[in-house]
């Protein structure tokens, strides 16, 4: 039970006690019955009586007895046939009051229920305010205004991306020294759109701009404009730009711009969608009749393909700044930022770590170092070693080892042959990426893993590399056909990936002789309306040709692998035997096992390579083996 709940329960209990006390206090404790009242009057004990309807309040003749209250029946109230003569005859002073003059009673019986209703509606409004900003503020912008001194991030905190920072710094320089640019007749771009994959640092770069510019910074996300009420989005856009004009010069940063900037009229139905009205209002505010002088709009998105063309034209978002995945040198700088202040071991080489993390964004690298620190603490180490970083990298890329899944010997050997087929296919091609690790232990969603690490950073791919990659994907199926004589369900994911790659080679890259140098691109449409309006880019006959060519490529690659594996069956068996016994082999150990199982002439067909033992995990395992051998030798010497 949280603190707020306890407070509400205590307040309710106190309210009930207070009401009980009020009702008890209002009940008179000197009330007598009507019979007792008549007897007291006849005995001359009553001095005066005041009538308020049927209620009677009076005083006794004896001051020690004080006052009394009673209620007389309706037929005996004051009047010609009432109790008046009886009281006068017994020397009782009579008086009367108008019913309802008791202000306390009126307040209790009418004011208190009204207060309860007021409290009830106040509570409902408070709950609604927490969910959608309250009814009175529903059209107000949710943008946060940061003063110039509040953001503490600077460009030095953003590692790499030198060209990107140079483009953004022009905006910062204009906001700091506008007269310098205006004197030369230059105009700063009104809008700047940062485009890049998730986690590359678009929001971090916006924070750096806010810290460097020295002007008010207004931040908002695209989803903050949308609400269940019609017209709220456009109202919030107007309110945000009103605030920006009051604080000009300033910067507006809209994160996840694609949530409100999607193409208009791309879906089914009319064009009066709430999102479209919000976008229309934003287009008018950025570069409409009134204009946005002194306001620089920055947007961030990882889906530029869905944005409306009117939003991207010059005068609105004039400049697009692409923030791609970091290169090798940029990954080294990013790792340096995220490891600053952390206790690193002497064996940590950030360049080697960066070489083994191709395709990782800045957010991935940050998570990598944090995961390595968690592993080091879990294992009882005070410093982060290369082994911890490698374990964290494997957890991010291939998943965590699942010790709860137990395979019997037959399944384990089948998995060993399957993973051995992937490794052997990689060793047969010089173009394939070097093999880093082979394991038959269940890891992540797979029953086994063959991991490859590129030694060089690639920006374009040759067809020979794509062919080698296709064969590596089909290596597991080829090994099953050679050894087991039939396929298993273990290669389902491999077939999906291989088919996707072959289809891209034929349809998108134009590398097929059957189709020629024709590229159709990716056919996935973002909106259903676009897909229905555009239709297919090629005929059904061409689609049939693509399907036939994809099937031919996969069958040819598989047949070639089966022929090679039959010739190298001894090496495949040796690798599977070592893998079943050790469960995990490094790339060099796998290559050595294959060479041991075949003669020297067949070994010349192995043109591929393995990741050198000097890589983090390989070196760590080598050091561990050397330490174990030295300890064993010391024990033998002591026994002797």
pLDDT of the residue at 292: 60
Using CA atoms, how far apart are residues 571 and 185, in angstroms rounded to an integer?
A: 73
pLDDT of the residue at 301: 87
* Residues pairing with 48 in the sheet: 59, 93
Instruction: For the chain, give the number of residues.
Output: 640
Using CA atoms, how far apart are residues 443 and 396, in angstroms rounded to an integer?
A: 11
List the one residue out of 323, 96, 86 whose CA is nearest residue 200.
Answer: 323
Distances from the Cα of 284 to the Cα of 77, 279, 306, 314, 542, angstroms:
80, 9, 20, 14, 45
Q: Which tokens is 522 given?
A: 């990716």
pLDDT of the residue at 289: 62
Instruction: Give residue-wise pLDDT tens across range 52-84.
Output: 767 777 888 776 677 777 877 766 665 555 677
Q: Which residue stretches of the chain have pLDDT < 50?
A: 132-135, 268-272, 527-529, 532-533, 613-640
CB 73 within 8 A of CB 37: no
As a whole number of Å, the CA-based R_g of the chain is 42
Instruction: Give residue-wise pLDDT tens across range 465-510.
Output: 999 999 999 999 999 999 998 998 888 889 999 999 999 999 988 8
pLDDT of the residue at 556: 94
**419, 451, 480, 549: the active-site residue:** 419
CB contact set of 632 (below 8 Å; sequence gap of 6+): none
CB 344 within 8 A of CB 384: yes
DSSP string, 162-180: HHHHHHHHHHHHHHH-HHH
Q: What is the C-alpha end-to-end distance of the chain, expressed in Å?
A: 68
pLDDT of the residue at 202: 84
SS3 for 239? helix
Q: Which tokens is 463 given?
A: 């067809």
pLDDT of the residue at 79: 58
Q: Which tokens is 302 given?
A: 């990882």
Using CA atoms, how far apart are residues 426 and 609, in angstroms rounded to an integer?
A: 8
Is 419 labeled as catalytic in the residue annotation? yes
DSSP string, 518-557: --------SSHHHHHHH--SS-HHHHHHHHHHHHHHHHHH
List the one residue out of 148, 129, 151 whose CA is nearest residue 140.
Answer: 129
* Residues pairing with 307 in the sheet: 262
Domains and their CATH numbers in the chain: 31-101 (3.30.720.210), 144-177+187-322 (3.40.50.300), 328-397 (1.10.8.60), 409-609 (1.20.58.760)
State the DSSP H helix or E strand holding residue 1, giving kind and residue range, or none if neither. Answer: none
CB 510 within 8 A of CB 500: no
What is the SS3 string spanning 366-388? HHHHHHHHHHHHHCCCCCECHHH
CB 200 within 8 A of CB 306: no
pTM beyond cutoff 0.75: no
CB 420 within 8 A of CB 382: no
Classify strands 191-195 and 319-322 as parallel, antiparallel or unpaired.
Answer: parallel
Q: Which tokens is 96 given?
A: 């009367």
Using CA atoms, how far apart are residues 428 and 479, in angstroms rounded to an integer?
A: 14
């Amino acid at each position: 039970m949280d603190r707020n709940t306890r407070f509400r329960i205590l307040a309710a209990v106190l309210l009930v006690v207070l009401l009980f006390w009020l009702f008890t206090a209002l009940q008179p404790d000197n009330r007598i019955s009507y019979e007792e009242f008549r007897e007291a009057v006849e005995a001359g004990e009553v001095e005066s009586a005041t009538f308020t309807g049927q209620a009677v309040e009076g005083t006794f003749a004896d001051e020690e007895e004080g006052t009394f209250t009673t209620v007389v029946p309706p037929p005996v109230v004051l009047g010609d046939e009432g109790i008046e003569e009886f009281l006068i005859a017994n020397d009782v002073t009579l008086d009367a009051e108008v019913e309802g003059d008791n202000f306390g009673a009126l307040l209790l019986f009418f004011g208190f229920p009204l207060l309860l209703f007021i409290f009830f509606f106040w509570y409902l409004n408070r709950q609604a305010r927490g969910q959608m900003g309250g009814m009175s503020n529903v059209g107000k912008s949710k943008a946060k205004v940061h003063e110039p001194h509040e953001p503490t991030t600077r460009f030095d905190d953003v590692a790499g991306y030198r060209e990107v920072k140079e483009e953004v710094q022009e905006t910062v320089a204009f906001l700091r020294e506008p007269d310098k640019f205006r004197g030369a007749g230059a105009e700063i771009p009104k809008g700047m759109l940062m485009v890049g994959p998730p986690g590359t640092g678009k929001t971090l770069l916006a924070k750096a701009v806010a810290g460097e510019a020295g002007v008010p910074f207004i931040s908002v996300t695209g989803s903050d404009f949308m609400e269940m009420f019609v017209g709220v989005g456009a109202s919030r856009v107007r309110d945000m730009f009103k605030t920006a004009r009051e604080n000009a010069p300033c910067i507006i940063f809209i994160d996840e711009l694609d949530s409100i900037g999607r193409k208009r009229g791309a879906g089914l139905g009319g064009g009066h969608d709430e999102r479209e009205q919000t976008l229309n209002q934003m287009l008018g505010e950025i570069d409409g009749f009134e204009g946005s002088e002194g306001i620089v709009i920055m947007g961030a998105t990882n889906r530029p393909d869905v944005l409306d063309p009117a939003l991207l034209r010059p005068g609105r978002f004039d400049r697009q700044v692409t923030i791609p995945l970091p290169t090798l040198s940029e990954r080294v700088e990013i790792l340096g930022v995220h490891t600053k202040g952390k206790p690193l071991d002497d064996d940590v080489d950030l360049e080697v770590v960066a070489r083994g993390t191709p395709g990782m964004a800045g957010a991935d690298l940050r998570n990598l170092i944090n995961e390595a620190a968690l592993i080091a603490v879990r294992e009882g180490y005070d410093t982060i070693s290369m082994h911890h970083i490698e374990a964290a990298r494997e957890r991010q890329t291939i998943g965590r080892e699942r010790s709860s899944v137990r395979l019997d010997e037959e399944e384990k050997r089948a998995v060993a042959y399957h993973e051995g087929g992937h490794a052997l296919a990689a060793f047969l091609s010089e173009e394939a990426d070097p093999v880093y690790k082979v394991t038959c232990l269940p890891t992540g969603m797979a029953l086994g893993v063959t991991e490859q690490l590129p030694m060089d950073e690639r920006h374009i791919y040759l067809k020979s590399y794509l062919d080698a990659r296709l064969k590596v994907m089909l290596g597991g199926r080829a090994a099953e056909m050679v050894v087991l004589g039939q396929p298993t369900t273990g290669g389902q994911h491999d077939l999906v990936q291989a088919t996707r790659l072959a289809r891209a080679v034929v349809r998108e890259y134009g590398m097929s002789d059957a189709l020629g140098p024709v590229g159709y691109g990716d056919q996935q449409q973002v909106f259903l309306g676009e897909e229905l309006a555009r239709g297919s880019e090629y005929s059904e006959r061409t689609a049939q040709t693509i399907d036939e060519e994809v099937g031919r490529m996969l069958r040819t690659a598989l047949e070639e692998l089966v022929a090679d594996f039959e010739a190298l069956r001894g090496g495949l068996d040796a690798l599977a035997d070592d893998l079943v016994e050790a469960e995990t082999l490094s790339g060099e150990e796998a290559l050595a096992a294959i060479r041991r199982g075949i003669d020297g002439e067949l070994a010349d067909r192995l043109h591929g390579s393995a990741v050198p033992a000097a890589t983090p995990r390989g070196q760590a395992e080598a050091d561990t083996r050397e330490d174990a051998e030295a300890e064993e030798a010391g024990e033998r010497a002591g026994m002797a």
